[in-house]
Amino acid sequence: MKLSRRKLSFQLTPLLDLLLIVIFAQYMEVQETAETQAVEVAQKLNAAQDTAELARLQLLAKLEVAEQERNQLQIERNRLQSTMQERETEISDELRQSREEIQELGEILSRLFRLPQETIKRVLAARSEVERDELRREIETMAGSRAAEMVKHLRTWRELLKRCDVWDIHIGDDNLTTMTAAGKTFKFRAETPERFNAEIYARYKALPQPKNLVILLVSWSDAQFSVRQAAITGVAEVTQKMYDDSDRRTRFEYAILGFSPPLQ
């Protein structure tokens, strides 16, 4: 049985339409895939650019920090050089001062053992037998010491004075009390412990802030017994009074040296 040509053409048309639909669907799929890939590539490119920009900014920040550190090191180097120069100057000044101190101490030593015999006798006569023996031994030891040892001893005393204040209180033959403290000299009369206490305390209030330790040395020459006794009693009271007034931040100690005539 044979089919006519017209009928056969009607049967191929749907197949052709289906083929076109399939081809168009594949085209659309390929087009969509291409667009997706293009978007992904663009995203990756943007991410790479962002990463590169971030790396560039981080590198610039590190370079800036490095530059700041270099500048800081340069400043520190200049400061150390300046400090070294200042220290060299200080050492030079200290050496010069040490030479001057040694020369000054040498002059003091040259005069130290030229005291008049009458003065030495008066000093020894006012001491007890035990004190006279101790003083005699000290004088003999000092006289027999080498110059270097004497200089060391006197420099030790000078260093001690840098760390504490020494107030010298001397009652003269005329019963006039002379107080030397902080480079100042005061004179007053005190016949009673109360008066002595008040005079010392008033001078203490007028002086600059003392160091953490203050030592009061009390001595006299041919002063009256009552005046000497007033000083002995008053100094014990006024040291405690000054200690309390300083809120116990400064210690006040005293030593009774006793008879000590002016060195002439």
* pLDDT, tens digit, 9 for 90 and up, residues 135-146: 666 665 665 555
What does pTM read for this prediction?
A: 0.48
Contacts of 247 by beta carbon, 8 Å cutoff, 6+ apart = none
CA dihedral sign, ordered 84, 98, 145, 125: negative
Taking a C-beta distance cutoff of 8 angstroms, is the pair 218, 196 a contact?
no
In the chain, the percentage of residues whose pLDDT exceeds 70 is 70
pLDDT at 20: 79
* Segments of the chain with pLDDT less than 70: 1-13, 95, 98-154, 157, 261-264
